[in-house]
């Protein structure tokens, strides 16, 4: 495919496919029983403290979050087609235009390469696309022509979260 298609008579650039891959819809890691037990104990202890304080709504939020995380951790994601075109990226048949994207970078998470794209004017504000069955270099070259490749600086909250997860892991490393 020609990454720079010629305009039509009226000056309209037609959308052309540059790169296509099929990958899971989200990063996924199977969790063991120890992880869920540790998470439940922490949630129960925090909920008991909040009950004594009379914060029933926060207890309900914690229960909902634990349930949602349990479902996300036990149900594998569906396979999704990602298409990089001359106009943007199509995911779940929705086009995310290059004009709406600020920057992108690639991270490693749970043994997967993840394409992270910041798009502050869209919902969700950050796209997480799993890179499997595709050459990372091909994605870098194709996307680099349209959007700035720049990894954001870690904020103090990011640093605290990383520190906590390293010091107090919810599961042992296998």
> How are strands ordered across the β-sheet holding 79-85?
17-24, 79-85, 88-91, 94-97
The 10 Å CB-count burial string (b at 16+, else e) for 104-126 is: bebeeeeebbbbbbbbeeeeeee
Burial zone of 92 (CB within 10 Å; 0-12 exposed, 13-18 middle, 19+ buried): exposed
pLDDT score for 10: 64
Choose between 3 and 25: higher pLDDT.
25
Cis peptide before 137 (omega within 30 of 0): no
Q: If pLDDT is split at 50, 70 and 90, which confidence band does 19 have?
A: confident
Mean of the per-residue pLDDT values for the chain?
A: 83
Q: Tell me: pLDDT of 64 over 90.
A: yes
Condensed to tens digits (0 to 9), the pLDDT of residues 21-61 reads 888 888 888 888 888 888 888 899 999 999 998 889 999 99
Mean pLDDT in residue range 2-29: 73
- 7-11, 78-82, 97-101, 108-112: segment of lowest average pLDDT: 7-11
Render pLDDT for 66-102 as a digit per residue (tens, 0 to 9): 998 888 888 888 888 888 888 888 888 888 888 888 8
Going from N- to C-terminal start, the domains of the chain cover: 14-152
């Amino acid at each position: 495919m020609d990454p720079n298609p010629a305009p039509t008579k009226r000056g309209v650039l037609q959308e052309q496919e540059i790169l296509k891959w099929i990958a899971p819809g989200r990063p996924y890691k199977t969790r063991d029983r120890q992880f869920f037990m540790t998470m439940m104990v922490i949630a129960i202890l925090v909920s008991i403290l909040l009950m004594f304080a009379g914060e029933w709504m926060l207890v309900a939020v914690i229960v909902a979050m634990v349930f949602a995380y349990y479902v996300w951790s036990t149900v594998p994601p569906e396979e999704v087609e990602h298409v990089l075109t001359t106009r943007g990226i199509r995911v779940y048949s929705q086009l995310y235009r290059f004009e709406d994207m600020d920057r992108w970078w690639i991270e490693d998470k749970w043994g997967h390469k993840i394409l992270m794209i910041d798009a502050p004017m869209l919902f969700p504000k950050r796209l997480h696309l799993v890179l499997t069955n595709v050459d990372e270099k091909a994605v870098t070259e194709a996307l680099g022509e349209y959007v700035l490749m720049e990894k954001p600086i870690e904020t103090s909250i990011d640093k605290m979260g990383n520190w906590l997860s390293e010091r107090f892991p919810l599961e042992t490393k296998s």
